[in-house]
A and B are shown apart, each in its own frame.
Chain A
Amino acid sequence: MRDENQDQEKKTYEPPRLTVISLRPEEAVLGHCKSMTAAGPVGGTCHTTGNCQGIGS
């Protein structure tokens, strides 16, 4: 019986490696105040919303 995987190229084994990636959840969630496109109907005066996280570019 023919092995279905016989013709597939065998991938080179890569050992597991641990890499630490720095996440910034306060930047990854949409809607926090941005300098030019602040969220919501009071975007032009975002200091009144209490939501400003000081996120720039």
Chain B
Amino acid sequence: MSILNLAEAHSGYSGSFISTQALASQRIVLRIGGVRVAMHGSSVNALRCSSEVDRFRVVECDADLEVAVCWTEGLKPWNGRQTFDSGAVWKVFRHENDFIFDFASDAIGRDPYKRMRADASFCSARVMLNSELLSEDVWPLEYPADELLITNYLARHGMGVEVHGCGLIDCEAGGLLFLGHSGAGKTTTTRLWKSLRHPEILSDDRIILRLHDGELWMYGTPWHGEAAFASAASARLSRIFILQHGERNEMVEMHRLRAVGEMFARCFPPFHSATGLERTVEFLSRIAESVPCYEFPFVPDRSAVRVVLDFHD
């Protein structure tokens, strides 16, 4: 039994997506990147998280973002104005003020296996799961829906950004963030530090950055890379390193404007939203004003770790 009226689910419903009926159902809360996401479903089993996401569950509390989950049959591709095609499993459409994400994979059928409809503020969303294509034990916010929701919320409110990087907390050096494209050395760096220093690894691939009272903070995410590290912990940052393989270890401070560009190239902005893009760039600019950013060509051995530990601005 769904928590929402199915006729309503198919209609051009507007306003809050969370009905009184939904609020009376089962609820779990996640906290990812400091954003509290409440999920409403018909049962606790219907809201079973993956093991990575489960680490981000918190006790019942108020939420920044409310998500209602329901099941439906016969979900057909959205017939409206498409604003972006990811080239992967999702496309986004605009309808009135809402964002409609359709998720489809040729592997299981041409129709969407899931639809996520969010209001313009990304504070309220509804996830409709296609019962003809999905099994009942599916996590409703299966990747990349969870990541899309959080990153769009952060961008929409100019509150943060997700970046491609590995983050760790060393007992001596504190929070350390190494940004990098694929192949730049994030997994190598994570494994080096893990074997030599045993730090807490927040993620080996994706980190959320926020500013609190002018201080830069990083948060672990469930969306890990090859090394599979994912932690809900967070840490303050004093600087950012941008990784690349090199012939020797070297720290080169970047001009602030270049730092913004290099960070932008390693972040996950909402390409379908001009407002979201603009606020992402503004946020990165605020980061660059808060902490220095260094190019870090490195050699993949213990000397790279020593260089970072001995480094001072």
- A23-B265, A41-B105 known; A30 vs B134 contact (CB < 8 Å): no
- Min CB gap A39→B, angstroms: 5
Determine whether the beta carbon of A40 is less than 8 Å from that of B113.
yes
Determine whether the beta carbon of A56 is less than 8 Å from that of B225.
yes
- Min CB gap B11→A, angstroms: 26
Interface bin, chain B: 35 or more
Residue numbers in B under 8 Å from A57 (CB-CB): 166, 182, 186-187, 190, 204-205, 225-227
B250 beta carbon closer than 8 Å to chain A: no
How many residue pairs link A and B with beta carbons under 8 A? The number is 120
Determine whether the beta carbon of B224 is less than 8 Å from that of A42.
no
Determine whether the beta carbon of A29 is less than 8 Å from that of B88.
yes
CA distance in complex: A11, B89 (Å): 47
- A27-B164, A39-B144, A41-B134 known; A51 vs B228 contact (CB < 8 Å): no
Contact with A along B224-247 (1 / 0, CB 8 A): 111110000000000000000000
Contact with A along B141-180 (1 / 0, CB 8 A): 0111001100100000000000010100000000000000
**B residues engaging A (CB < 8 A)?**
52, 86-90, 103, 105-108, 113, 133-135, 138, 142-144, 147-148, 151, 164, 166, 181-183, 186-187, 190, 204-205, 222-228, 255, 257-258, 261-262, 264-265, 267-269, 271
**A residues engaging B (CB < 8 A)?**
17, 19, 21-24, 26-43, 45, 48-51, 53, 55-57
